[in-house]
Structure 1
Amino acid sequence: MSKRALISVSDKTGIVEFAQKLREQDWEIISTGGTKSALSEAGIETIAIDQVTGFPEMMDGRVKTLHPLIHGALLGRRDLKTHMDAMRKHNIEPIDLVVVNLYPFKETLLAGGNQEDMIEKIDIGGPSMLRSAAKNHASVAVLIDPADYEVVLTEITETGETTLETRQKLAAKVFRHTAAYDALIAGYLTEQFFEGKPEKLTLTYDLKQSMRYGENPQQDADFYESGLPSLYSVARSIQLHGKELSYNNVRDADAALQIARDFDEKPTVVALKHMNPCGIGIADNIELAWDYAFEADPISIFGGIIVLNREVDLATAKKMSKIFLEIIIAPSYAADALVVLEKKKNIRILTVDFTEKARSEIFPMVTGVLGGLLVQNQDVLIENPDDWVVATKVQPTETQMKALGFAWKAVKFVKSNGIIVTNDHQTLGVGPGQTNRVGSVKIALEATAEKPVETQTGAVLASDAFFPFADNVDEIAKGGITAIIQPGGSIRDKEVIDACDKYGIAMVFTGVRHFRH
């Protein structure tokens, strides 16, 4: 008896050649719909599905393979006499190979399909056949990926059948594939029809890159992209130059992109080191924005990650090329600027679609912990300065309010306890991640004190959370700071306000904190 294959694919890549090789090995081919038409046009003899089932395809193709003569042929165990007797009794001929890929649900969703389109792209028969074949992998080979055609054809050509090892690997791949497919559908339908927190979290990711190592050489790591990707992301960046990204590169680049996303009104340059901003500059042109970001911390920027929210021009490229940078990310590069940067052998040059910044905000942030996940939405609250409250007798000037607005945007991305000192166009000192807030204040002020006096004029300070004690203000006053912005909400707010009034420092309460652990 000839071996049988069932072929029904939406992705026709390589399928004609694959089927032709099977026929050369005297395999019979059962096929359906568009796949059968494509094979027939290529002169490949096939058996229609309704010839097997004796039941017509109906309901616009919704019902065609869901039949005992198909699933019995896939699920029947060849090593059990009772199964084989049942197959003979009911005239079920075994199917030894299944080649199926699924309706393009993900592709339709990414293309903006409406609800009716999405429902019709939920494949039922395909996953059913795949799961049946994969369950019975002891006897049945199952393929969902054209990349696996060659290994299967080689084994069939050489020995007449596939090896158990190959069938096992293919079966596992099928269940990964159908699980991911179902996860996308579950996510879509949950978003459409469900309110609240689902009792099951179904996430799926696609392998983007296997990495040399993780945070440290002794750690293994891989880079996976969300099943529904964000175009404004490291995962969807286009690398124009340099060696592949490392684990730490990806994390740092992601953090820098998140910062740059918040600075949209003017040309902005973000410099980041070890997940903290070491310089942010805004100006009327990208070259001057670079100057401000560089001057913010010319030491820490060495080996840093740079994101520019405007095209990189020649003048800016020349300045950046004078120091060692790990990564540069921008929406585009002038041709002559790219030539200059590409002379740096080790620098990684990437482009990202900045027009997709807003859509990137909807993706949840997922953090792994031992035995579980923490999931939260992104900190993308749009704040209105009109809602802020001046807590002190001293009122901030218009220039100070501008600087406070800039500082408040910037401090959101400093690791807690986070303190940042800025003027109205550049960061001056960053105090990240200390176990007490006074320590962060001192670090930020020490960095600020190293800047030229004219740069420090009108410097303001932002704190990501409230000041628990007035000792913070004592330190801030020593540093010559003229205004503070912080959430407020401490039981000792009055002490902090009184200290500011004593030193003549204006202080604004936002009512919102921005912890970043």
Structure 2
Amino acid sequence: MDWFGLIYKRDNPLRYGENPHQQAAIYRGGPAGIVNAVQSHGKEMSFNNYTDADAAWRAALDHSQPCVAIIKHANPCGVAIGSDIADAYTKAHACDPVSAFGGVIAANRTVTVAMATQISEVFTEVIIAPEYESAALDILMKKPSIRILTCPVTRISPLEIRPVSGGALVQETDLISAAGDDAKNWKQVTGAPVSSEVLADLQFAWRAVRAVKSNAILLAKNGAAVGIGMGQVNRVDSAKLAVDRAGDRVRNSVAASDAFFPFADGLEILTAAGVIAIVQPGGSVRDEEVIAAAERAGVAMFFTNTRHFSHA
């Protein structure tokens, strides 16, 4: 593709942009996506509401099971799958209840009364879902400040466009569809065979870490994130942050790293805290050092040969 062009039509001016001194507007470029979501309640959407809602929607749609993602400043402070959407919300909110205050919630299933009842007890900026039970809407609409969006589940755009000074970067969207995203293609490099429950948590963590800004470490247990280390400029600090956020829940959790461990130190922080299995891309020049550290700790480690950096 040597040339490409896109046409966007201004839909609405916004009160301001990312900050009050910046003018902004929302432009419509197609029939799908959150720009076309129907708002049935609440104040007008802000610039930051849109960016967080988009991140939350993507994170929820990354999973085929009932899933809820809670986003603050474009990073997940909770993401979980569950037996139903209310169960998924309970588990997602439990990841980091402090940060979930004032967050943006996305659900990939119809919002039920059971889920809405829980949300009614927490200040929430935005909720976005494909549908709502009528009684669930009644509950949510009692909260005057919450913005309620309905958005059909559609195919995620296959291309991402990122403006840069003097032009734009265009790339294929990371749809978690590479060969290494299938656990059948993972290579176990340390540890004994894991149980089906541990493998399921590793698969969940690997999909969930895609939504976390790099450097990213996500700890998971029972289909829910329990500690997330995001946006750090070294992997050691991401590991420390994830462990700190998890608290006692770190014991017997699994970890996903969006990129390889350049040294053993980040992995050693996880294993010392009680992580029992790790999934990561592999490919470091010090892989043998990292493998040796995992072997000493007696944990199972899998290489995916696929990376999920996220810098947007």
Q: Per the shorter chain, which TM-score range?
A: over 0.9
The yes-or-no answer on 1:503 pairing with 2:301 is no
Rounded to whole Å, the distance in 2 between the matches of 1:484 and 1:360 is 28
- Name the SS for the 1:495 alignment partner: helix
How many residue pairs were aligned? 308
Q: Is the 8 A contact 2:57 2:107 kept in 1?
A: no
Q: Spell out, residue by residue over 1:31-77, the C-alpha distance to the aligned partner (whole angstroms, 9 max, x if none).
A: xxxxxxxxxxxxxxxxxxxxxxxxxxxxxxxxxxxxxxxxxxxxxxx
Rounded to whole Å, the distance in 2 between the matches of 1:272 and 1:381 is 19
The yes-or-no answer on 1:361 pairing with 2:160 is no
The yes-or-no answer on 1:417 pairing with 2:220 is no
Report the equivalent of 1:493.
287
Rounded to whole Å, the distance in 2 between the matches of 1:213 and 1:204 is 22
Report the equivalent of 1:219.
22
Q: Spell out, residue by residue over 1:79-118, the C-alpha distance to the aligned partner (whole angstroms, 9 max, x if none).
A: xxxxxxxxxxxxxxxxxxxxxxxxxxxxxxxxxxxxxxxx
Tell me the TM-score normalised to structure 1 length: 0.58
Q: Spell out, residue by residue over 1:417-438, the C-alpha distance to the aligned partner (whole angstroms, 9 max, x if none).
A: 0111001311000000101100
Residue 360 of structure 1, CA deviation: 2.3
Residue 381 of structure 1, CA deviation: 3.7
The yes-or-no answer on 1:278 pairing with 2:73 is no
Report the equivalent of 1:3.
none
Report the equivalent of 2:165.
370
- Name the SS for the 1:323 alignment partner: coil
Structure 2 counterparts to residues 261-410 of structure 1, below 5 A: 261-264=61-64, 266-354=65-153, 356=154, 359-362=155-158, 364-382=159-177, 383-410=181-208
| Unaligned stretches of 5+ residues in structure 1 | 1-196
Which structure has more relative contact order (CA 8 Å, sep 6+)? It is 2
Residue 334 of structure 1, CA deviation: 1.3
| Unaligned stretches of 5+ residues in structure 2 | none
Residue 316 of structure 1, CA deviation: 1.4
The yes-or-no answer on 1:460 pairing with 2:254 is yes
- Name the SS for the 1:361 alignment partner: coil
1:478 aligned partner, one-letter code: A
Q: Is the 8 A contact 1:417 1:433 kept in 2?
A: yes
Q: Is the 8 A contact 2:91 2:224 kept in 1?
A: yes
1:361 aligned partner, one-letter code: S
Rounded to whole Å, the distance in 1 between the matches of 2:163 and 2:34 is 19
Moved more, 203-212 or 433-442: 203-212
Q: Is the 8 A contact 1:361 1:378 kept in 2?
A: yes
Q: Spell out, residue by residue over 1:388-423, the C-alpha distance to the aligned partner (whole angstroms, 9 max, x if none).
A: 100114333322111100000011110000111001
1:225 aligned partner, one-letter code: R
1:409 and 1:319, CA in 2 relative to 1: closer, same or farther beyond 3 A?
same
Rounded to whole Å, the distance in 1 between the matches of 2:82 and 2:93 is 13
Q: Is the 8 A contact 2:254 2:277 kept in 1?
A: yes
Q: Spell out, residue by residue over 1:186-216, the C-alpha distance to the aligned partner (whole angstroms, 9 max, x if none).
A: xxxxxxxxxxx22x22111111221111111
More helix by share: 1
Rounded to whole Å, the distance in 2 between the matches of 1:320 and 1:443 is 26
Q: Is the 8 A contact 1:420 1:430 kept in 2?
A: yes
The alignment yields a C-alpha RMSD, in angstroms, of 1.2
Tell me the TM-score normalised to structure 2 length: 0.96
1:278 and 1:320, CA in 2 relative to 1: closer, same or farther beyond 3 A?
same
Rounded to whole Å, the distance in 2 between the matches of 1:447 and 1:283 is 21
Rounded to whole Å, the distance in 2 between the matches of 1:270 and 1:392 is 31
Q: Is the 8 A contact 2:213 2:309 kept in 1?
A: yes
Rounded to whole Å, the distance in 1 between the matches of 2:116 and 2:91 is 15
Report the equivalent of 1:441.
239
Report the equivalent of 1:253.
53
Residue 230 of structure 1, CA deviation: 4.6
Residue 471 of structure 1, CA deviation: 0.8
Q: Is the 8 A contact 1:441 1:475 kept in 2?
A: yes
Structure 2 counterparts to residues 151-170 of structure 1, below 5 A: none
1:306 and 1:368, CA in 2 relative to 1: closer, same or farther beyond 3 A?
same
Report the equivalent of 1:201.
4
- Name the SS for the 1:421 alignment partner: strand
1:401 and 1:462, CA in 2 relative to 1: closer, same or farther beyond 3 A?
same
1:467 aligned partner, one-letter code: F
- Name the SS for the 1:293 alignment partner: helix
Residue 278 of structure 1, CA deviation: 0.8
Q: Is the 8 A contact 1:396 1:507 kept in 2?
A: no
Q: Is the 8 A contact 2:251 2:273 kept in 1?
A: no
Structure 2 counterparts to residues 17-28 of structure 1, below 5 A: none
Residue 376 of structure 1, CA deviation: 1.2
